[in-house]
Structure 1
Amino acid sequence: MIKKVYPIVVNPKGTKFLMVEDINKTIHTIASLGFYGVGVAQYIRRNWRRLNLKTIEDIKRVFYKQLEWYLNPKA
């Protein structure tokens, strides 16, 4: 049940992917980004209820936060 598709720029290099409102499609799309995307996608899949992800903005917030952590775990 996909309502809207959002293009999102993930990093400064301009990698783009589509995020949809359906949580599983979103996870699949994030995972398709590659190594870091898979880790973030798994994190979101396991914790999306606890993280209270209701909107695309919530998912984006968590996604960017996790992506930063994966790219720079010591920060």
Structure 2
Amino acid sequence: MKVTGIFLLSVLALLMLSGNTTASVERQANCDHTRLGCPRIYSPVCGTDGISYSNECLLCVENRKRQVPVLIKKSGPC
């Protein structure tokens, strides 16, 4: 009984700690729809350059101006 309790507390502690980890998976922006212009939808993304962009489309517009593309670091502002 004591071993089972310790095991369950250990599993609970590990589950709580695993929720606090953030995986840093950088991805490319979806730039298929930029030919028609960018929508005015506020859905911020954080670029690998440390700048927040209002949406993926505006990040794509900025990437067309650069030689080295900026990736999306995370959804949401930086």
TM-score category by the smaller chain?
Answer: under 0.3
Using the size of structure 2 for normalisation, the TM-score is: 0.26
Structure with greater Cα Rg: 2
Bigger relative contact order, structure 1 or 2, given CA contacts below 8 A and separation 6+? 2
Structure that is richer in helix per residue: 1
Using the size of structure 1 for normalisation, the TM-score is: 0.26
